[in-house]
């Protein structure tokens, strides 16, 4: 029997001393994303697709291979396969929001989805993530959901710190937007 529930999560990060256009340039830059990948110990983080859709929305597919120490119960489920997934975001410049979804070999079993809102106020930008992790594994679903949510929250602690360092060090003007980088 499958466990029919999900774990909701919310993450908020804030950046001081930056307007939204500059924030966006940093947040979606090659340099920032590579520093984040290193800080959160990813084996790989590479943009596979960037498309501006006819309605002006921007669709990104980023491939991620994390370095994780998985609990034994989860490792057993993987049968020796490594974890990798694609983050698909669709950013709407008109609403300053994005939907996100994680796709992997286990998409039928593990689903992570949500909404990101970017709010600008007096030279500061706040990013608010509202998401849901849903794992359909009898007996382990809740455990794996808590693990996923813990990983997400931990990684965004690093993102906030690195983002503020980028701003404070004036590196926001020396970035290459991922949209200008060819997909690999």
146-161: per-residue pLDDT in tens? 988 988 898 888 899 9
DSSP letters for 79-121: TTPPP-EEEEEEEETTTTEEEEEEE-TTTTTEEEEEEEEEEEE
Structural contact between residues 145 and 6, judged by C-beta atoms closer than 8 angstroms? yes
pLDDT given at position 93: 94
CA distance 136 to 142: 9
CA angle 23, 65, 166 (to 5 degrees): 25
Contacts of residue 51, Cβ cutoff 8 Å, sequence gap at least 6: 58, 59
Higher pLDDT, 74 or 138: 138
Instruction: Read off the pLDDT of residues 54-113 as tens digits, 9 standing for 90 and up.
Output: 999 999 999 999 887 777 766 666 676 778 899 999 999 999 999 999 998 877 888 999
Q: Which of 73, 67, 18 is nearest to 44 (CA)?
A: 67
pLDDT given at position 86: 95
pTM for this one? Answer: 0.83
In the predicted structure, residue 132 carries a pLDDT above the cut 90 = yes
Phi, psi of 16 (to 5 degrees): -100, 145
pLDDT given at position 119: 96
Question: Residue 179's pLDDT band (boundaries 50, 70, 90)?
Answer: low
In the predicted structure, residue 49 carries a pLDDT above the cut 70 = yes
In the predicted structure, residue 4 carries a pLDDT above the cut 80 = no
Q: Rounded to an integer, what is the distance from CA 157 to the centroid of its chain?
A: 12
Report the range out of 29-38, 83-92, 135-144 with the highest average pLDDT: 83-92
């Amino acid at each position: 029997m499958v466990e029919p529930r999900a774990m909701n999560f919310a993450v908020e990060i804030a950046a001081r001393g930056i307007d939204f256009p500059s924030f966006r340039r940093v947040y979606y830059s090659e340099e920032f994303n590579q520093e984040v990948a290193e800080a959160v110990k990813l084996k790989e983080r590479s943009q596979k697709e960037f498309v501006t859709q006819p309605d002006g929305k921007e669709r990104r597919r980023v491939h991620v291979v994390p370095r994780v120490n998985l609990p034994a119960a989860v490792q057993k489920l993987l049968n020796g396969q490594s974890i990798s997934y694609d983050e698909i975001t669709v950013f709407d410049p008109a609403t300053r929001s994005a939907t996100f979804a994680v796709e992997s070999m286990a998409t039928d079993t593990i689903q992570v989805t949500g909404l990101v809102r970017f709010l600008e106020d007096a030279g500061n930008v706040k990013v608010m993530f509202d998401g849901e992790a849903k794992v359909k594994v009898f007996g382990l679903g809740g455990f794996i959901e808590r693990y996923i949510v813990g990983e997400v929250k931990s990684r965004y602690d690093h993102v906030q710190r690195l983002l503020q360092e980028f701003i404070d060090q004036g590196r926001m003007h020396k970035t290459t937007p991922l949209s200008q980088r060819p997909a690999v």
